[in-house]
Amino acid sequence: MDEELLKYCEDHSGSEDKLLQLIKRQTHLKVLKPRMLSGHLQGKMLEMFVKMTSGINVLEIGTFTGYASIFLARGLAPEGKLTTIDVNEELEEMVRGFFKQSGLNDKIDYTIGNALEVIPNLTAPLDFVFIDADKQNYVNYFDLVVDKMRPGGLILADNILWSGKVLEKNRKKLDKNTAAILAYNEKVNKDPRVENVILPIRDGIMLARKL
C-alpha cells in the first residue's frame, strides 16, 4: 500500500497510546528483527475481531514483545483471558513489564515454552486464535487448535503473503519458510472445518472461521 494511504488508515483507526509507543520504541532499540512487530493498524484490527467473537478464551501463538498481545487483551470480554505463548525466554522480563504497565496483567497468561507442547493442555473452547510464530509449524498449530475452536470462532495467521513470495515470480528459489506458508494457505483453503479469506493487510492475514 502507498505509504501515505497506510498512514491515513492508521491515523483514522484509533490512536497509538504511550504504552504502545514505548513497546515499539524498545523493540526497535533492543530486539533483533523488530519488523516482526505488529503495526498499529493490524493491532487495532485484532482487538476488533476479539470483541466481535465475545473474546472469552483467546490464544496467541508467538508473543514477541507483546505489542499485539496488548490489543488482544484490550478486546477481551470482562471475564475473558488471553493465553500467549513464546519460546524466547530472553524477552520475558521486558514483556512482563509491559503487561504490568498495561493494567491487564491479571487477564494475560504469558507462558514461555513450546506451543506444540502447551496447546494440547488447553481445555476451554477457544473463541479466537492469532498465529504469528515460526512459519514451519503453522500447519501443526492449525491442526492443534481447530478442533478446540467453538463454532464461529476465528483463527488468524499472520505473514501469509510472505513478502510476496507466495508468487513464484517473487522468489529465486522455494525456501522452507515459503513452502510452509504455501502449505498452510492450501490446507486452510481446503479444510472443510472452516471457511476462509485472505486479508491483504501488511504481510497478509489468513482469516479462518470455524464452522
Show the beta-strand stretches assigned E in the chain.
57-61, 81-86, 108-112, 126-131, 149-158, 194-199, 205-210
pLDDT of res. 128: 98
For 31-76, the pLDDT digits (tens) are: 988 988 988 999 999 999 999 999 999 999 999 999 999 999 999 9
In the predicted model, is pLDDT for residue 99 greater than 80?
yes
pLDDT digits (tens, 9 = 90+) for 170-189: 999 999 999 999 999 999 99
Average of per-residue pLDDT values in the chain: 96
Mean pLDDT of 17-27: 96
For position 107, which CATH number holds?
3.40.50.150
**Number of domains the chain is built from:** 1
pLDDT confidence band for 113 (50 / 70 / 90) = very high
Rounded Cα distance between 86 and 80, Å, is: 20
Q: In which band, very low, low, confident or very high, does the pLDDT at 6 lie, cut at 50, 70 and 90?
A: confident
| Mean pLDDT, range 103-124, rounded to an integer | 97
Per-residue model confidence (pLDDT) at position 2: 83
Determine the pLDDT at residue 35.
84
What pLDDT score was predicted for residue 205? Answer: 97
Q: What is the dihedral of CA 42, 10, 95, 198, to 10 degrees?
A: 10
Range of the domain at 77: 3-210
pLDDT above 80 for 1: no
pLDDT score for 3? 86
What average pLDDT does this structure show over 163-167? 96
Q: What integer is the mean pLDDT of 155-169?
A: 97
For residue 75, what is its C-alpha cell?
478486546
Rounded to two decimals, what is the model's pTM? 0.96
